[in-house]
Amino acid sequence: MGDSGRGENGGAVAVGEGARGARVRRETGETRVEVRLDLDGRGAIRVNTGIGFFDHMLHALAFHAGWGLELTCEGDLEVDDHHTVEDTGLALGQSVARALGDGRGGIARFGHAYAPLDEALARAVVDVSGRPSFAGELGLQRERVGGLSCEMVPHFFRSFAQAAGLTLHVDVIRGANDHHRIEACFKATALALRVALASTGGRGVPSTKGVL
């Protein structure tokens, strides 16, 4: 991905890519994340964060949301996975916000979905409201799945929702295997986002307040 600029003291810099697309670079003393996102599925899906299982989840998120996504993160994995996962969530969320731009008035706004994976079942509910919030009960038991700390899974969703400016609820309804629980969460979130971010072709803001 090409250079998209650098913000003062690190942080995120967003550069528009046309209708419903965005490029974002987030660079700090701990990570460097670059994202190219197309909400309408133009482009391939390529993800590399240095955490194999996290890459697998991000790929599933993009695929089932119907996105084109190129994402790379160079993080301080010699410390742990916290900064890599958190900053990836922030940069990806910023990309969604940038790709929507002023087009939030032409989207469905709300979305919900269920996704099973074998014995696990997850539910996700999204409101692209401009009010960032995350709540969820994932019921994870293991310390890690592959190179991803289980405590970082809800933290990723919280960081993503914060930067994207949306309300996100994710709950595991049942499941015994944490790999399955996590993957079901990412897939349910992807399917809910696909509905909520769908273009309606309208111009009115989907709110009785007249603004989001």
Does residue 59 fall inside a structural domain?
yes
Phi/psi at 12 (5° precision): -110, 140
Judge whether residue 13 has pLDDT over 60: no
Span 66-79, pLDDT tens digits: 999 999 999 999 99
Does residue 149 fall inside a structural domain?
yes
Does residue 48 fall inside a structural domain?
yes
> Strand pairing of 144-145 and 148-149?
antiparallel
H/E run at residue 91: helix 82-100
Does residue 171 fall inside a structural domain?
yes
Note the pLDDT of residue 105: 65
> How many distinct structural domains can be found in the chain?
1
Domain containing 107 — which CATH number?
3.30.230.40
Judge whether residue 16 has pLDDT over 70: no
Does residue 131 fall inside a structural domain?
yes
Does residue 210 fall inside a structural domain?
no
Span 27-43, pLDDT tens digits: 999 999 999 999 999 88
Q: Which range of residues forms the domain containing residue 190? A: 11-196
Note the pLDDT of residue 77: 97
Note the pLDDT of residue 2: 41
Judge whether residue 90 has pLDDT over 70: yes
Q: Quick one: average pLDDT of 71-88?
A: 98
Does residue 1 fall inside a structural domain?
no
Judge whether residue 210 has pLDDT over 70: no
Q: At what angle do helices 82-100 and 52-65 cross, to 10 degrees?
A: 20
Query: Residues 6 or more apart from 89 whose CB is under 8 A from it?
Result: 155, 156, 157, 158, 159, 160, 163
Does residue 205 fall inside a structural domain?
no
